[in-house]
Structures are given as structure tokens and as C-alpha cells.
Structure 1
């Protein structure tokens, strides 16, 4: 895991005057190219690492900037601990345990209590309340494939339920809006794809390795595109579902109608996803307008009711 390796490299550089890229590569069982990328990431993070060539050359932290346990502020260490603890709820394994131990190892004794208190101010739990139990096993397999640069094979169901057999080069695990994805190059589609982990079945690591290609960062922000497509519709809701509706709009969009109801300006796009959101509110929500949306809601409700008439 890259995070654990970066922390380990920093600790090694603190303890040693100089170490070669080849020695680090052999220690962590990665390529020298990977070590060079790691060193670059450490340098960008504000820890200046100097490189010397020739016999006895290698990497070292610049002497004037040699860091000690005081390098990290209380806020820095609290933030690192919060992030690592949050990841550990979904991504177990020795790597995270070792990373947590090493971070705690640089905490000065006089600051330990204060840092622990601040780290506990925010609790991050990435595991779901319920749902697909294959997520964590899938993540472990994908992590292993990422580390070993091995191809993955799996059956994948699209949003219409159509299943296809896929083979892909894995490049990144992505958490977006409480859902986990794997960004990989799909050998069937000949393009980078974002695979939702809940749609994977029969996930396997293949023996075949792959040479990494130029990585394509997944597009994860669609705010501008959504804003251009969305319109506001009026819905009337019962106060009991207010917290659910607030997942989609702001409190300023709520206008009290009576002690138990609100009229809400709700962001809406005319597609199945948004109609299904309104339907999920059940009899606690009524679409007031426009009339075309209201008419389509009635059609869908009638169609649903016919399923139960027999």
C-alpha cells in the first residue's frame, strides 16, 4: 500500500544518512521507478529529499531540514490518525496496522493525550450499515492485484442488469459518495472504466501481469453538468422525511406549510434516477408541479400498483 510505504521511507530516511533507490526498491519489493515516484511525492509534501549520484550515492533528507518528532504539529498528527483509522474500517491488513503504529511512534509523549483527544473529535467509518458483504473481500483482492500489477477478471452488471465477462488492468480504488469503485483499463472496451464494486461477481486475480499504461484519472465531478440539466420542481413533504430530502437540497429550499409539512424546491432531472428518488419517499411526498412531472409520477405509480392487482 503506497501510504504505508511512504511513511516507512520517511522513517528510514530519518534513521539513515543516505540510502540508494535500489536498496529501497529491494526492501519494499517494488521497482526503482516506483521509489523515484515515492521520493517525488515526499518532496512535494514539504520534506526536502536530496539525491546524489555515483558510488555511495542515494537519497537523504537535506541536513538543514532534518526532521524530528517536532516536525509534525498536533493538528498534523491528529489528521493523519483520523484518516488512517477511517481507512482501517474498510481496508484491513498489516499495512494499515503498521502505518498506525509508525505514526504513533513519532508522537511526543507530552503531546500524546492532546493528539488522541483531537483525533477522536471526528470518527470516520466507511463501512455500510448493511448491504453487499462482498465489498471488503473484493477490496482485498483489488489491493493485491494493484500491488502485484496483475490482471483482474470478473463478471460485471451494468445499470440495466446486463452481465458481461470482463478483464481489466487495475489502477486505483476510488471512494465516491459512499460507494467504492475500481478505476481500470477494460480490455474488452479498450478504454479506462470505473467499475462499481457492488456490481462485480466472480472476481479473480489472474496469473498474467501487465505493464502500466499512462493512467487516466476518472472524472468524479459533475457539478457544472448537473447544474445545466437540473430544474426545480415543487414537492410537498411530511416533516418525518426532512433529513432524507436534505441529502439532495439545502435547508433554504424548505418553506413551512403547516406544523407537519414543508413545500420544497427540489432539484430534478427527467430520468429514471430522479423519478425513483421521488417514489422512494412513498406517501410522505407529493409532487405539486409542474404538471408534466406530476402526470408522469401518476403513470409510474399506476404501473407499480398493477403489479399487485393480481
Structure 2
């Protein structure tokens, strides 16, 4: 929208001492003629912009024009920049770039280095080391559908690999335990459902718009259900995988068993995902109790052994 672009241009000009028309044209993906019209509109609105021709020239806001930049403290600005920076690793888009420009524009020059240092002290990178290449694309498409209130259609594979076609009204993107989910109203089930993005394929944004329902579903409801299913099992682990096990529980779950081993009260959900977590610890881990979980692990190990017992 033009008004968004005008505001963004103002913020860019506040941030930079001088910027050329060509740079603005490329930044906002519009023609030079459009940029010149935008600058004229900003001038007419009462914000004085000076144009300097020639090499090194460009547009700049007159230094006499003052903007109150004292609304936020340096710590506030550092926290905002840190949060925006973490979001931008996964959710790209012009609005995030514009928001970053707006925030940076209100940073007093004398505090710029201090705020930059504070904002870089904690780095939150949500992008995966590796994984499903579609997820990044899907995030952008879902974000657009959320903003435009458009229906989403996709194929969904459940934990048993049963595939169904779903159409949903999207309401919320959720990042939980390094996994992305979309919370939406499923037209097939006539209820709110949580869908894991890694199980989605052929995602498509439809032209149909929807009228938003009252949405008061919180992620805590999903977490409460998972907590109810969870129970502790007893593992004996080698000290070499202690750091990996600590990703799922704290030090107070550990007790020394020998110089080389620990006994761990490990939080576990009795499904394939839970078993796969335990298998991920390899031969450095043994399930001691309860017996039904130990038997479940033994059966899965036997099934795997049978597969590899057959020669090609």
C-alpha cells in the first residue's frame, strides 16, 4: 500500500543521512518516477526533504526537523531489535524489513553502538540446521493467509501415515519445541485442530475468504494434553550423552550410578515419537523400567534386526 511505503521511506530517511532515488527504488521495488512522487507527497505533508544532485547525492531530511526518540530506553530498543532479528530468520517479508527500519530510525546516534552491542548479546536463530525445505516457503504462505483471512488447503499425514485432504481457516502460527504448527479451524472436522507443518504437503492458499470465529484456543491446552500423556521412565545412560538427555529434562532427574553412568527419570510419551527419542541415544542408553516400555523397545529392536537379517 502507498501509505505503508510512504511511512517506510520516512523511516529510512530518518535512519540514513542520505540515500539515492535508485536505492529507494530497488528497496521498495517501484519505479524511479514513483519514488519522486512519494518524496513530493512527503514534502507536502510537512516533512522537509532536501534533494542533492550529482555523485554522492540523494534525499535527506533536514537536520532541523526533530523527532522525539525518547519513548524507549536503550534496553527497550535492544530487546525489540533482538526479537525482530530472531523472527526475520524464518518469517521474511517487506513488513519486517520496514519495521526494523522504523525501530532503527528512532535510535539516537550517540546510543547506536551501545544498543547494537546489547541487541547482539543474545542471538535467536529459528532457522533449522537442516530439515524439510518446504517449511520456510509454507511459513510465508501461511502468514499471508492469516493476514488476508484466506482458506488453506493441504494434504496431511498423521502419525500412522494416513493421508487426508484438509481445508482450514488459519488462526495462529505456533513454534513449539523447534517444530512449527498451524492452529486452524478444520472444515472437515468442524473444530479447531493443530497441524504440524512437517506433515503437510501440497499447501495451497485458496481464493475463498472466511469470517473469523471466536478464537480462544491457547497452546497451553495442547501442552496440558501432552503433559497428561507424559510419564517418567527409568533410563541408564552413559555420561557421554548427558548433554543430549539434558535437552529433555533437568539435572534433578539424574542420579549417579557409577563413574561412567547415570540413572535418569526421563519424561516419556508412549508413542512412536517417544520411542524414536530414546532410540536416538543409541547404545549409550538402556531402559530399565517400566517393563512394558522396555518390552516395546525390545520388540522394535527385534523388528529392525529382522529387516537387516535379510540379504539382498
Q: Given the superposition, is the C-alpha separation of residues 180 and 262 from structure 1 closer, same or farther in structure 2, using an over 3 Å criterion?
A: same
Partner of 2:56: none
**Offset of 1:309 from its aligned partner?**
1.2
Partner of 1:153: 153
Secondary structure, counterpart of 1:220 in structure 2: helix
Q: Given the superposition, is the C-alpha separation of residues 78 and 274 from structure 1 closer, same or farther in structure 2, using an over 3 Å criterion?
A: same
**Offset of 1:196 from its aligned partner?**
1.3
**Offset of 1:275 from its aligned partner?**
2.6
Q: Given the superposition, is the C-alpha separation of residues 108 and 194 from structure 1 closer, same or farther in structure 2, using an over 3 Å criterion?
A: same
**Offset of 1:272 from its aligned partner?**
3.3
1-structure distance, mates of 2:185, 2:269? 30
Contact 1:238 1:262 in 2 (8 A): yes
Partner of 1:294: 294
1-structure distance, mates of 2:225, 2:137? 34
1-structure distance, mates of 2:293, 2:252? 23
Higher mean C-alpha displacement, 228-237 vs 97-106:
228-237
Partner of 1:135: 135
Please list, as runs of the form range in 1=range in 2, the aligned pairs for 1:181-196 lying within 5 A after superposition. Answer: 181-196=181-196
**2:285 paired with 1:274:** no
Partner of 1:16: none
1-structure distance, mates of 2:214, 2:304? 47
Partner of 1:216: 216
**Offset of 1:303 from its aligned partner?**
2.1
Q: RMSD between aligned alpha carbons? A: 2.4
Partner of 1:170: 170
Secondary structure, counterpart of 1:302 in structure 2: helix
2-structure distance, mates of 1:94, 1:222? 32
Secondary structure, counterpart of 2:144 in structure 1: helix
1:26-81, CA deviations, whole angstroms, 9 ceiling, x for partnerless residues? xxxxxxxxxxxxxxxxxxxxxxxxxxxxxxxxxxxxxxxxx931110111111100
2-structure distance, mates of 1:228, 1:218? 16
Contact 1:156 1:166 in 2 (8 A): yes
**Offset of 1:102 from its aligned partner?**
0.3
**2:97 paired with 1:73:** no
Secondary structure, counterpart of 1:308 in structure 2: helix
Secondary structure, counterpart of 1:141 in structure 2: helix
TM-score, reference length from structure 2: 0.73
2-structure distance, mates of 1:129, 1:215? 33
Partner of 2:197: 197
**Offset of 1:305 from its aligned partner?**
1.1
1-structure distance, mates of 2:300, 2:192? 36
2-structure distance, mates of 1:219, 1:199? 19
Q: Given the superposition, is the C-alpha separation of residues 267 and 82 from structure 1 closer, same or farther in structure 2, using an over 3 Å criterion?
A: same
Contact 1:183 1:218 in 2 (8 A): no
Partner of 1:117: 117
**2:238 paired with 1:238:** yes
**Offset of 1:227 from its aligned partner?**
5.3
Instruction: Indicate the structure (1 or 2) with the bigger Cα radius of gyration.
Output: 2
1-structure distance, mates of 2:227, 2:175? 23
**Offset of 1:297 from its aligned partner?**
2.4
